[in-house]
Structure 1
Amino acid sequence: MPFNSERHGNPPLTPAWALECWLWEDDVNTAERVDELLRGYAEHDIPVRTILIDSPWSTRYNDFEVDTLRYPQPDKWFRQLENDGYRVVLWMTSMVNSFSKDTAIKNSQVWYDGVAEIDFLAGGKLQSKWWKGRGGFIDYSNPAAKKWWQAQQQNLFDLGIDGWKLDGTATFFSSRFLGLPVPYLRSYSGIMTTRQYMDSYYREEYLHGKKQNPEFVTLARALDGDFIHPEGFAPIDAAPVTWVGDQEHIWQAPEIENEDGFGDKIFGGSEGLETAIKDILNSAKLGYNIIGSDVAGFSGREIPANLYIRWAQFSTFCGLFLNGGHGERALWKRSQTELQIIRKFSWLHTELVPYIYNYVVSAHAGGKVLQRSTGIDYNYFFGDDFFVAPIFQDSFHQEVVLPPGRWRYFFDDRGIIDGGNKVARDFPLDEYPFFVRDGAIIPLNIKRDYTGFGDQNSAGYLTWLIYPHDKNKIQVFHPDNGGETTVAVEQKNKQINVKFTGHKMPHILLIATADKPKTVLLDNKSLKPVRNWNYDATKQRLKITTDLYENGNYQIDF
């Protein structure tokens, strides 16, 4: 936990939709570009659940009025996104600007003066420069100021938005003495420190959004490097979804210095994929749970193909898959290799959402977070049942020392590797150093065939990927109905037993086994081969499909 852990609570219950794939771009910032991207992703069958609309989208920063030149007919457009099944998150900060860098209304001195004169800004008329202009900080401690601010936001809530991206202006909350920043300002409630203001910003925006929409989220910074707010930007209890921006389109730092194209980068120097991995693991160590980074980096020159692929693969095994930033994000305009591999891993991340959601529930209750470092290099556990050895260099070869236990390589799970052994091999672009614990029971939501665990016919079923070894069980929480299902597996002699309790739902069992079973029983009734179950000798996998059951007791004999 952070050194000032008393200011943190447990992570919130992140809604399941926010665990699916996000998409955004920061080069055009128009409805036309969003529509083009979403249409192309749908045509190429790349999953997107959330569209993030970054700055600028308003007529001036944080007036919460949609710029209709960029986003015409916002009422109709936002409703259409909702009707098409997308969730929408909008960028914002806590600033009331007198000057905005790149909005339709750049000079808003009169607007700023009107807000400052009624004492709605902390620090009075003291202005601060930030990367999008200059202005003052809305005073969350002033009830009248907060009421006014939230009233400005209401038209966006009425459009049905699902979240805010809370960018990092609160860290600039300070006065000056002899030209040097001093970390406090006078507010309605008295002297307020930078840390106190940051906590107010993140908490107030999250809590108010939740009042408008129970499934509302905020996307907030967790960490961003080693030196700026090492205690974490957002309070953990107001951090349903976090990212560790901003990185560049590079593998490691320092690699490029003083390059063009980094003008929007807010904190830190030249950082790449390696820094994102490190910051995510350090964030998890502090107690943040659903964490990600801008896939392929936020800014820089052209995105290298291999970097885009490897970053997407790493993000598959994070709580947040955040595909966006500067650079070409229309994968069909890039290489076929990138499109096919990133599509495959985007679907794999989507399939893993039921597994990830279990750790949303766990962390919220004070238990384990999703990602936990092994303490060796940047290796980490993804939940209890997966081990990841991230690739952060442009190289196929990787040497991995497995943790204690029995492991299987996820992309060829037929063999068992004992923990403590070194795996030294090439990992082709369409694979990644991702290992599953023998004995694991993994819930998957499968709708396509890209990952090899099912196809379109799997939709509507919860798939259970089972690697039998001794005894194990898992309790899975269903976000749509609040119910729970427990699956217990026991392997002994030449028999595997699987027992379901709790909430009933159609399911598919995928059981790793080197042998074809002789009989399969469900609640003491024999299931018929082909119609109810089949065995794939090549994949060494037994598949059982069940729509209805009475007790949920399987007995598989060999």
Structure 2
Amino acid sequence: MLLRKGRLCANQTIKVLNMKNTGLLLLTLLLAVQLSWSKEPQLPPNRGIELPQMWKFHPGDDQEWAKEDFNDADWAEIRVPQFWDSQGFDQLDGFAWYRVRFDLPADYLSEDLVAILGQINDADETFLNGQRIGRMGNIEISESAHKFTRKYPVPRRLLKPKNNLLAVRVCDLGNQGGIFRGPMRLVKKSNFADYQRPAGLKPPLAPKWAFEPWIWEDDENSAAAVKDLVAGYARNDIPVGVIIIDSPWASAYNTFEFDSTKYPDPADLIRSLHERNIKVVCWFTGMINTDAPTYDHARANNYFLNDGEVVGWWKGHGSHIDYTNPEAIAWWHRQMDKAFQLGIDGWKVDNSESYVPDFSKCFRGEISKREYTDLYYCDAYRYTVTRNPNAITLARSVDYLDREFDPEFSPVSCASTTWVGDQHHDLSERGLQLALRNIFKALAVGYAFVGSDIGGFSGGPALTKTAFLRWAQFSAFNPLMMNGGVGEHRPWAFDQETTDIYRYYAKLHSELVPYLYSYAVESHRTGTPIMRPCESGKWQFLLGNEFFISTMYQDTTAWKVELPAGKWRDYWDESTTYCGPQSLAMAVPMARYPIFLRSGAIIPLLVKDSINGHGTKASQSFLTLLVYPDGNSEFKYHPDSDSDVLFTCAQLPAGLQIGFAPLNSDLLFRIHQTTAPTAVRLKSGSDLPAWSDFDAWEKAATGWHFVPSSNKLLVKCGGRTADVVQVE
């Protein structure tokens, strides 16, 4: 805002704000109105209605002008968006009103809308059909909000088919005034976020290790706390593949140097975690706080947005790195290198961009909030994989709690792993159900690797055993299974039953890594998400093509499942099959979850023990494949990003054939079959030996064994060359 002498808002005492106070006042304003901040939406034609360009306009101030029955026939007409100064009102400072009428199609009357009114210099109150729907800026204390795009919720009860009236009361504090920058649109609330992602963007591929279970905690940040947490999971035989060292770990925000009082030997800590096959991810944002030892250097060299304007944010006061400044980014990367040199495996890239205005001054001139957000997340991801191609960044994908009308954070193309922000410690609409809303929106946008904090991050009631376990069971079938947050999240702190149940699902998630990674490769190639929402039921989804999950989001052990089309096996009783679509009323005790396997499925697993009944410790030397024969089926397995190994299964009148392409692994097939075969042989020519004793079969390199109690035919063979297993 540029102030000059002139006529100011009538009947108001105007205080000229100094630049030191402006940032704090704007932050207070934005928190008060609870509006999202983002760049100007560039919506597809079918994602909004353009408002008329010509509006009625009149200087002055009268609340009667908000009313529908007011006659504005003698008012001037001006173009919107465009400063009023360039349209014959160059001497106007103070109040003026805009009015425009419009009709709505029928499909816009059945749900809430969002009114996107661009940027207004300086403050506004906006009314629809006589009812105020929003305001920004504080006219009473001469506070400008000219940097921020207006996005106001419009309840459906205010809408009508014809002659809707939008009235905007504007106060200009000096210099140019009015609605000066678009867009000017009405958008369905359900479609509001869809504009942000260009069609065709595909997610990057996360490394295999990222699909292992994650842990972290937010109550104590120290090397001792990290070691204690990891030791607790090991003591309870719960697998861990990744740990996040969350804030505050650095000496200041964001120096990228470990606080030596909390982490006296970070290199040794990281090395010890790697020896346990646990990857290490550290937290950061794009801010440098004023108390950081690097702040003055960065400010002196113009490495910040908005000439180093100090912004209050949730970790103190600091300034935003200017991602358009090549010199600033080269320096920023050198700071990140301090942690890379210690061997970390990636970053949790957290939200600081919400504190960036809609438009900011930057090295190249001006940058929108959305552009800045994309640069922030993409620079973090791209530099990270440049340093280590097997590293990741964890970023928010969708978070409606933080940004109701603009919920997306990292661009899909720079989102190797994502979570959906902060939820309460319960199953409510601020807890698990909010996580579900965010995850399903993220899937619709195109994110591949999604998940949430099991049990919620913070807030609401204390985390209960039921909420914790139902959330953990759901998360076991997300690409990201991550447990941590404020308050108690350690399974063994609840009771032994909780520990046993959590262990089962964490091990199942770990076993599923070959399956999840194979679908991640497909998602990277095609853009199809790993989790695939179903049309029937609420928050039901397919995990890949072989699993169907009905999410339990209420405290109950009785659940109604809306089974999709197809033939499905009950995971807990594989001999029981259902033909969908149909509704099922199921008893679901706490240890179980509504899990179904597609008949005909071929599912690759990495089995490490006998906890889940999919093998034993001896299975670690093999790629295990669960096979549920039904006609002809196939699965494309990806041992790495460049390899395709096709498994096929064909039922024949005289038996079964399972074919496979060569891969660098021996194979263990667990085939659902109700009768023992007479013979099992490889098409290449050799008969596989039959073993009547399970222990003898397990010690042997090849052969088959039938288990009548579980209807399982177990077959071991080499997988180095292409072949076909023939079951007769």
Picking from 615, 619, 631, the partner of 1:470 is 631
Q: How does 1:322-361 map to 2 (within 5 A)?
A: 322-361=482-521
Counterpart CA distance in 1 for 2:720 and 2:657 is: 15
Counterpart CA distance in 2 for 1:229 and 1:58 is: 33
Picking from 155, 159, 170, the partner of 2:338 is 155
Counterpart CA distance in 2 for 1:228 and 1:473 is: 42
Q: Does 1:75 align with 2:267?
A: yes
Picking from 379, 388, 393, the partner of 1:213 is 388
Q: Secondary structure at the match of 2:501?
A: helix
Q: How does 1:222-233 map to 2 (within 5 A)?
A: 222-225=397-400, 227-228=403-404, 230=406, 232-233=408-409
Structure 1 gaps of 5+ residues are: 99-106, 175-182, 254-270
Q: How does 1:514-533 map to 2 (within 5 A)?
A: 514-523=674-683, 524-530=685-691, 531=697, 532-533=703-704
The aligned amino acid for 1:398 is W
Counterpart CA distance in 2 for 1:71 and 1:145 is: 28
Counterpart CA distance in 1 for 2:486 and 2:555 is: 21
TM superposition shift of 1:113: 3.6
Picking from 428, 436, 446, the partner of 1:252 is 428
- Tell me which residue corresponds to 2:96: none
Moved more, 278-287 or 327-336: 327-336
- Tell me which residue corresponds to 1:420: 581
- Tell me which residue corresponds to 1:268: none
Picking from 587, 609, 618, the partner of 1:457 is 618
Counterpart CA distance in 1 for 2:524 and 2:645 is: 19
Deviations 1:441-469 (A, max 9, x none): 11111102111111111102111101101
Counterpart CA distance in 2 for 1:192 and 1:408 is: 53
Picking from 364, 367, 370, the partner of 1:195 is 370
- Tell me which residue corresponds to 2:435: 276
CA contact (8 A) 2:451 2:479 kept: yes
CA contact (8 A) 1:8 1:237 kept: no
Counterpart CA distance in 2 for 1:143 and 1:327 is: 41
The aligned amino acid for 1:355 is Y
TM superposition shift of 1:548: 5.7
Counterpart CA distance in 2 for 1:12 and 1:96 is: 28
- Tell me which residue corresponds to 1:262: none
TM superposition shift of 1:526: 2.2
- Tell me which residue corresponds to 2:103: none
- Scaled by the length of structure 1, the TM-score of the pair is 0.91
- Tell me which residue corresponds to 1:103: none
TM superposition shift of 1:189: 1.1
CA contact (8 A) 1:355 1:442 kept: yes
- Tell me which residue corresponds to 2:37: none
Counterpart CA distance in 1 for 2:404 and 2:343 is: 34
Counterpart CA distance in 2 for 1:392 and 1:292 is: 15
Q: Does 1:84 align with 2:259?
A: no
Q: How does 1:13-412 map to 2 (within 5 A)?
A: 13-98=205-290, 107-108=291-292, 111-174=294-357, 183-225=358-400, 227-228=403-404, 230=406, 232-253=408-429, 271-300=430-459, 301-376=461-536, 377-412=538-573
Deviations 1:380-422 (A, max 9, x none): 1111111111001110000112111100011211121111222
Q: Secondary structure at the match of 1:297?
A: coil
Q: Does 1:554 align with 2:725?
A: yes
Structure 2 gaps of 5+ residues are: 1-192, 692-696, 698-702
Moved more, 4-13 or 513-522: 4-13
TM superposition shift of 1:550: 5.0
Counterpart CA distance in 1 for 2:526 and 2:721 is: 34
CA contact (8 A) 1:4 1:231 kept: no
Q: Secondary structure at the match of 2:440?
A: helix
Q: Secondary structure at the match of 1:2?
A: helix
Q: Secondary structure at the match of 1:224?
A: coil
Q: How many residues align?
A: 522
CA contact (8 A) 1:2 1:231 kept: no
TM superposition shift of 1:552: 2.0
CA contact (8 A) 2:279 2:345 kept: yes
Q: Which has the higher contact order (CA 8 A, sep 6+)?
A: 1
Question: Closer, same or farther in 2 for the Cα pair 1:504/1:148, shift >3 Å?
Answer: closer
CA-atom RMSD, angstroms? 1.7
- Tell me which residue corresponds to 1:543: 714
The aligned amino acid for 2:366 is I
CA contact (8 A) 1:533 1:544 kept: yes
Deviations 1:159-195 (A, max 9, x none): 1111110101112211xxxxxxxx1110001110110
Question: Closer, same or farther in 2 for the Cα pair 1:221/1:229, shift >3 Å?
Answer: farther
Counterpart CA distance in 2 for 1:466 and 1:145 is: 54
The aligned amino acid for 1:117 is A
- Tell me which residue corresponds to 1:489: 649
Deviations 1:292-347 (A, max 9, x none): 00011101353201111111110011010111111223322321011000000001
Deviations 1:501-526 (A, max 9, x none): 13242011011112221211123422
CA contact (8 A) 1:486 1:501 kept: yes
The aligned amino acid for 1:82 is H
Deviations 1:194-213 (A, max 9, x none): 10010000000111111111
Q: Secondary structure at the match of 2:195?
A: coil
The aligned amino acid for 1:251 is L
TM superposition shift of 1:429: 1.2
Counterpart CA distance in 1 for 2:553 and 2:527 is: 29
TM superposition shift of 1:484: 2.9
Counterpart CA distance in 2 for 1:339 and 1:526 is: 44
CA contact (8 A) 1:209 1:216 kept: yes
The aligned amino acid for 1:281 is F
CA contact (8 A) 1:8 1:236 kept: no
Question: Closer, same or farther in 2 for the Cα pair 1:401/1:6, shift >3 Å?
Answer: closer
TM superposition shift of 1:8: 7.0
Q: Secondary structure at the match of 2:244?
A: strand
Deviations 1:72-95 (A, max 9, x none): 111222222223321100000000
Q: Secondary structure at the match of 1:489?
A: strand
- Tell me which residue corresponds to 1:502: 662
CA contact (8 A) 1:484 1:502 kept: no
TM superposition shift of 1:155: 1.4
Counterpart CA distance in 2 for 1:548 and 1:325 is: 43
- Scaled by the length of structure 2, the TM-score of the pair is 0.70
Deviations 1:45-90 (A, max 9, x none): 1000101011000111111111011111112222222233211000
Moved more, 6-15 or 460-469: 6-15
